[in-house]
Chains A and B, each alone.
Chain A
């Protein structure tokens, strides 16, 4: 990879030299059969799963202590598909491949197939990504608690999804994003199909990377190039620049983004127009004089 010459001088090699530093990567793969890319072409699933497995193995290959967790996320459930919850599969060496890699592939595919077979017929194209992320955060928290003393664990979550993000999960999303930020967990998002503005906020909040890939055929290439490097060395690489994230709030009345809106001083509801009675808390406001409209009311920029 290309080094960004400007910052290479002050690079701290200590970030990576210590053998006590472990990197834990949790990959959340959206395998909801209802998402558009899978409906249109079921073969895409194999391509995505294989790409993710190759990417996961690359992560394990970078350092023998590196840890990997893979989760599958559907519209009603999310499950850990690697490592196995009970005893690990029995794998022998195949074609001279490192056993762990074979184990990763076998375990993921087996558990995923099981999960898809159990999928109900009531399909929805919305996946419970927020739930999956919170499960991942719990897992990371558990590992943090039980890790040996003196070992440093860098955790991150990579979400690979073709679903859209929905307003229904808004609160859950915000909760997991800020939890992740607090726990120093970086959330990376690789969007396969649609632009995900909520998850993009999550990346921004946790200083992760958001990438909507232009073509699915090159998925592995995007994953390896953009998401394989650890967060500490990313500043030294030439990676897609962070996009300005739109943090504007939506008004309660029309659900439209507002630059400047009216905020009820009692219940903090946001409105795009002044109304003498707050529709949330029913507080009655004085109608301001025609001249003093701007100064009398609380304005809030979001």
Chain B
């Protein structure tokens, strides 16, 4: 039912839906379709439920528009304006365009969360299993699930926000593909774009300026890859395109970087000069006039800029606004006081002191400090008594007994006599093993025998089919999750804990009823000998929890 408070943004007649003719309405919250001569809406989709819209391709006999919902359901509307195909397309396009502007608004609101949850579920099979067992069976509600049971997943999500740095070779990694007719095709992803923006802020600036107002995204990137800016030599002076300005901006940025220098008193890159070895030996080299330099210089410059930007990209995330210096030593986190160089008169002294501190840092090791040795003297030396206690095992002392000399000599005599018999050649007196003893031994060593205890259980485990095993595992997974929350409520010192305990107790009962019981019934049907064993422990876990809960309830009523 359309309520009167809803605003109708667009109304398109002559729209067919499933062989019925009617009118399509686009309201501020939803899209609706009403059969002709009826006053109830037969189709209604909230914009937030709609995943995408699709339109039939140009030139097809039927002009159609389809909306696909997140649930996978889709509705197709057929535009049948009697004015012909042009009118039909016009109708359709009005709907399409309005939807296009409406859908993103709703997407932002609802889908962010939904998609995030979907993503979490699809990337964590354990969580998905829990979701299936707990939410789909209505043991716990979806809200409870996300707030209590999936916390570690959603939180892990939050901590994972460390930005990934820029790969030094990312531009080289964008491999163009030839399209067969003298052209190149670049495939770029959102990640690559991010990298390009990080390395070339000027490009980002241009992007914001031009897209989508003046150029489409694809056009922009095509231009980028075609530009001299992107290409190796970057002698942008001669050409005039969108990115010429970028080069100049980069130059300024670089100049700034060079002037700032590196705030490390042990490194002074401002004194670096591009000189070849020959020059140092007095061989003058003709300087090419103009700042553009040779192609190779442009190349080196570009490499330097690229490196600076890559390093900066990883630094921008630091809270301190000292991103202007890009020395590798700073990236490593060496502390340098940042006001050392820029502060007028005292800067020389400061620099000196800083240098000293840095050198000191480099050459001393705290743990090798001699002061540590002296403090050792005051430490007590380990003074152990009854050391033999370490040497005894877990045995209750020795059970050694010494025999009296008389006993010993008589035993020795007996044994020696026994030995003497051996020397008298071979004696075929008796069998080494009597048949009865051998059969007895075999009986003990056969499955079920006295020496084979524990073997039976092992084979029981082998009898369980893998799907049942998986089911048992899933049951344990879900039950442990519930029990975990149940036991966390004890002792229930606050009323929220009390409420949670009651809630979890109910959830346990629901779980028992919807998952454990049916599984047990299935076992009795399919694997009768195992039925009891497999769920014995699960039931035990449940019963202990129930008992705890009941005792607590009893205590509560007693105290009242």
Contacts and interface: CB of A to CB of B under 8 A. Distances in A.
A239 B390 CA distance: 36
Nearest to B417: A42
Interface string A165-203: 111101101100000000000000000000001100000
B441 A167 contact: no
Contacts of A94: 426
7 contacts: A33-B412, A34-B408, A45-B419, A125-B401, A167-B398, A252-B386, A279-B386
Given A125-B400, A218-B433, A165 B395 contact: yes
Interface in A217-258: 217-222, 225-226, 238-241, 243, 246, 248-250, 252, 255-257
B295 interface: no
Contacts of A85: none
A34 B416 contact: no
Interface string B194-219: 00000000000000000000000000
A220 B433 contact: yes
B440 A215 contact: yes
B180 interface: no
Given A113-B423, A170-B395, A222 B400 contact: no
A214 interface: yes
A12 B414 CA distance: 50
Interface stretch (B6-14, B37-45, B448-456): B448-456
B512 to A, nearest CB: 31
Interface stretch (B274-282, B364-372, B377-385): B377-385
Contacts of A300: none
Contacts of A165: 395
Interface in B396-432: 396-403, 405, 407-409, 411-412, 414-423, 426, 432
Given A39-B411, A116-B416, A219-B433, A124 B403 contact: yes
A164 interface: yes
B150 to A, nearest CB: 29
A47 B429 CA distance: 11
A43 B451 contact: no
Contact of A241 (B391, B423, B455): B455
B440 to A, nearest CB: 6
Contacts of A168: 392, 398, 400
A116 B419 contact: yes
B418 A43 contact: yes
A113 B395 CA distance: 33
B438 A117 contact: no
B389 A166 contact: no
B432 A255 contact: no
B384 A281 contact: yes
Contacts of A50: 432
B434 interface: yes
Q: Which 6 A-B pairs have the closest CB atoms?
A: A170-B393, A218-B441, A217-B437, A167-B395, A123-B408, A250-B394
B409 A121 contact: yes
Given A51-B432, A113-B419, A281 B383 contact: yes
B418 A46 contact: yes
Interface of B: 382-387, 389-403, 405, 407-409, 411-412, 414-423, 426, 432-434, 437-438, 440-442, 444-447, 450-455, 458, 462
A125 B398 CA distance: 11
B421 A282 contact: no
A260 interface: no
Interface of A: 6, 33-34, 38-39, 42-43, 45-47, 49-51, 54, 94-95, 109-110, 112-113, 116-117, 119, 121-126, 164-168, 170-171, 173-174, 197-198, 211, 213-215, 217-222, 225-226, 238-241, 243, 246, 248-250, 252, 255-257, 266-267, 269, 279-282
B394 A123 contact: no
A113 B422 contact: yes
A280 B384 contact: yes
A214 B452 CA distance: 12
A224 to B, nearest CB: 9
Given A198-B395, A220-B433, A255-B396, A123 B383 contact: no
A224 B411 CA distance: 30
A121 B447 CA distance: 46
B509 to A, nearest CB: 32
Given A125-B401, A167-B397, A168-B392, 6 more contacts: A117-B416, A123-B402, A243-B454, A250-B392, A255-B392, A280-B385
Nearest to B449: A240
Nearest to B451: A240
Given A113-B423, A165-B395, A218 B403 contact: no
Contacts of A281: 382-385
B437 A170 contact: no
A45 B437 contact: no
A166 B399 contact: yes
A256 B438 CA distance: 39
Contacts of B444: 214
A197 B442 contact: no
Contacts of B432: 47, 50-51, 54, 220
Contact of A38 (B393, B415, B450): B415
B455 to A, nearest CB: 5
Given A113-B419, A267-B382, A218 B399 contact: no
B421 A46 contact: yes
A214 B403 contact: no
Contacts of B412: 33, 116, 119, 121, 123
A33 to B, nearest CB: 5
A164 B393 contact: no
Contacts of B453: 241
Nearest to B399: A164
B459 to A, nearest CB: 9
Contacts of A39: 411
B394 A249 contact: yes
Most buried by A among B387, B401, B458: B401
B453 to A, nearest CB: 8
A257 B394 contact: yes
A240 B449 CA distance: 9
Contacts of A225: 441-442, 445
A173 B387 CA distance: 18
A225 B458 CA distance: 20
Contacts of B423: 109-110, 113
B394 A218 contact: no
Contacts of A173: 393
A34 B422 contact: no
Nearest to A47: B432
Contacts of A112: 419
A108 to B, nearest CB: 9
Contacts of B399: 126, 164, 166
Contacts of B419: 45, 109, 112-113, 116-117
Contact of B401 (A6, A124, A248, A279): A124
A43 to B, nearest CB: 6
B450 to A, nearest CB: 6
